[in-house]
C-alpha cells in the first residue's frame, strides 16, 4: 500500500532514521509499559542516543542544529510509529527558553550535557491547582535571600519530574499587587531535580487516563541558587510566551503523526475485515468517516508546514502556529474516532493499540494547551475581537 502521507519523501533521511530508531519499540513493548504503568526509559534513551531529542540544540553546543520543520518531522514520525512523544517531547519544547534567554555560563554548562544525554531537561512547572490556565495569577513565590531564591507553593500536572534532571519552574518574584502589568513579576528558574526531594520539594504522582508520568509538587522553603535564574528577574512570562509558537507547531506535528497512524490502521482493517461477505470498507458508512478524517489530517498538515516554514524564516507565525495546533488536534481526534469505530469491538482490545492511542491523542485537546485557549488566541489576536480575559 502506498504511504498515505504524500510528503513522506520529503526529509526522507530523517523520517527513515527516526522510524528505524522507533522500530524496536513495537506494540508488545508499549503494551508492557502500559500494563506496568512504567516510563519508557529504554525508548527515551534510544532516541537520546541517536541525537533526536537534541535536534534543536545548535551544533556549537553539541546538538543537531536542525530547523523547526525538521524537529517537527521527528515528533511526527515518533507518533506515527505507534509510540507517544509525551514521554520525551518537553525537551524540544522548553529547551528554547534556556537557549534564547540563558546566560552564556548556563548555556555552556547545560546545553552540551543535554545534547549528549548526560542531563535530561524534561520538566516544565507552570500549572497550579488554584489558578489553572490563568498563569499570571501564579501563586508559587520565589523570594530572594542573598545568593538564593526561596520557593514556596504548589504546582500540579508537572510531567516527567521523576525522569528528568532539570525542571524549568515559573514562580512569582514580585507580588501581583506591586506590578503594573499582570504578566510582570514572574521569573523562570532552572531547578536541579536529583536531590530536590531532600531539599524541600515533595512529589506526589497523579494517576491519570494515559500512562503519563505526571505529578503534584509541593515546595516548602525550597532553595534555588541565584545563578539558576534564567534571564532577567520578572520577565519569565515573556520568555514562556516566546516559546509558544514552537511548542504549538511541534504538538501539531505529533497530532499529524497520530492522524496518519489512525487513518492507516483504519483503512487497512476496513480492507481486511469481512462481515456480510464483504470487506467492511466497501460500505460507505465505514469508508466516508475515514476519508473525512484523512482530509482533515492532510489540511492540518499543510498548516503545520506553513507555520514551521514561517518560524524557520524568522517571520511572525502566531496565527499559523495556533491554527495548526487547533486543526491537527481536531483531525487526530476525528481520525481516532473513525479508527475506533471501524474496528468495532476490537478497537477496545488492548492488543490492537487503538484504545491506547485514542486516549493519548485525546490529551492534545487539553495539554499542553487547551483548545479553548487556542480559539481565544485566534479570536482576539487574529480576528481582532474583544479580549475575553
Ligand atoms: C497529562 C497531563 C500532563 C500535563 N503536563 C503538564 C506539565 O508538564 N507542566 C505544566 O505546567 N502543566 C501540565 N499539564 C497541565 C495542562 O497544561 C493544563 O491541564 C491545561 O493547560 C488546562 O489547565 P487546567 O487543567 O488548570 O484547566 P482550567 O484552567 O481549570 O480550565 C478548565 C477548562 O476550562 C477552560 N477555560 C478556562 N478558562 C476559560 C475561558 N476564559 N474561556 C474559555 N474556556 C476556559 C479551559 O480551557 C479548560 O478546558 C498537564 C496536564 C495533563 C492532563
Mean pLDDT of each 10-residue bin along the chain, 389 residues long: 89 96 97 97 96 96 97 98 94 92 97 96 96 95 98 98 97 97 97 96 98 97 98 96 95 98 98 98 98 98 98 96 98 98 98 98 96 97 96
pTM of the predicted structure, to 2 decimals: 0.97
Distance from Cα 369 to the centre of ligand 1, integer Å: 7
On whether the CB atoms of residues 157 and 131 are closer than 8 A, the answer is no
Residue with CA at minimum distance from ligand 1 atom 45: 372
Q: Which three cell numbers stand for residue 262?
A: 489512525
Strands 141-145 and 229-230: unpaired
- All domains in the chain, ordered by first residue: 12-116 (1.10.540.10), 121-234 (2.40.110.10), 241-382 (1.20.140.10)
**What pLDDT score does 36 carry?**
97
**What pLDDT score does 93 carry?**
86
Distance from Cα 11 to the centre of ligand 1, integer Å: 34
With a Cβ cut-off of 6 Å, ligand 1 is lined by 124-127, 132-133, 157-159, 208, 212, 214, 363, 366-370, 372-373, 388-389
**What pLDDT score does 1 carry?**
76
Distance from Cα 272 to the centre of ligand 1, integer Å: 40
**168: β partners:** 124, 190
Give φ, ψ of 175 to 5 degrees: -55, 145
Question: Which residues in 128-141 are b (16+ Cβ under 10 Å) and which e?
Answer: beeeeeebbebebb
Residue with CA at minimum distance from ligand 1 atom 26: 132
Amino acid at each position: 500500500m502506498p504511504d498515505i502521507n504524500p510528503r513522506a519523501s520529503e526529509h526522507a533521511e530523517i523520517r527513515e532514521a527516526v522510524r528505524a530508531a522507533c522500530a524496536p519499540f513495537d506494540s508488545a513493548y508499549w503494551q508492557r509499559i502500559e500494563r506496568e504503568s512504567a516510563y519508557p526509559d529504554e525508548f527515551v534513551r534510544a532516541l537520546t542516543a541517536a541525537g533526536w531529542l537534541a535536534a534543536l540544540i545548535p551544533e556549537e553546543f553539541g546538538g543537531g542544529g536542525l530547523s523547526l520543520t525538521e524537529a517537527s518531522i521527528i515528533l511526527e514520525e515518533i507518533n506515527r510509529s505507534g509510540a507517544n512523544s509525551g514521554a520525551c517531547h518537553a525537551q524540544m519544547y522548553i529547551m528554547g527558553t534556556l537557549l534564547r534567554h540563558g546566560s552564556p555560563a548556563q548555556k555552556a554548562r547545560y546545553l552540551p550535557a543535554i545534547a549528549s544525554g548526560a542531563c535530561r531537561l524534561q520538566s516544565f512547572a507552570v500549572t497550579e491547582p488554584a489558578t489553572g490556565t490563568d498563569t499570571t495569577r501564579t501563586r508559587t513565590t520565589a523570594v530572594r535571600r542573598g545568593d538564593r531564591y526561596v520557593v514556596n507553593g504548589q504546582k500540579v500536572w508537572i510531567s516527567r519530574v521523576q525522569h528528568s534532571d532539570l525542571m524549568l519552574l515559573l514562580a512569582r518574584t514580585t507580588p501581583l499587587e506591586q506590578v503594573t502589568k499582570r504578566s510582570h513579576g514572574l521569573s523562570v528558574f532552572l531547578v536541579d531535580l536529583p536531590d530536590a526531594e531532600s531539599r524541600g520539594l515533595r512529589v506526589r504522582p497523579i494517576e491519570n487516563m494515559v500512562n503519563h508520568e505526571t505529578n503534584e509538587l509541593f515546595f516548602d522553603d525550597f532553595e534555588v541558587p541565584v545563578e539558576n535564574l534564567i534571564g532577567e528577574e520578572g520577565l519569565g512570562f515573556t520568555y514562556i510566551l516566546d516559546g509558544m509558537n514552537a511548542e504549538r507547531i511541534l504538538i501539531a506535528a505529533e497530532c499529524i503523526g497520530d492522524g496518519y497512524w489512525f487513518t492507516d490502521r483504519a483503512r487497512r482493517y476496513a480492507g481486511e475485515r469481512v462481515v456480510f461477505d464483504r470487506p467492511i470498507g466497501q460500505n460507505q458508512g465505514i469508508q466516508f468517516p475515514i476519508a473525512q478524517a484523512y482530509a482533515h489530517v492532510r489540511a492540518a498538515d499543510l498548516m503545520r508546514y506553513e507555520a514551521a516554514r514561517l518560524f524557520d524564516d524568522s517571520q511572525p507565525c502566531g496565527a499559523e502556529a495556533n491554527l495548526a495546533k487547533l486543526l491537527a488536534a481536531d483531525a487526530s481526534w476525528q481520525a481516532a474516532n473513525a479508527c475506533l469505530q471501524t474496528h468495532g469491538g476490537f478497537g477496545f482490545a488492548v492488543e490492537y493499540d487503538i484504545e491506547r492511542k485514542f486516549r493519548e491523542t485525546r490529551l492534545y485537546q487539553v495539554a499542553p494547551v487547551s483548545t479553548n485557549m487556542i480559539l481565544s488566541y485566534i479570536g482576539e489576536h487574529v480576528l481582532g475581537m474583544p479580549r475575553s480575559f
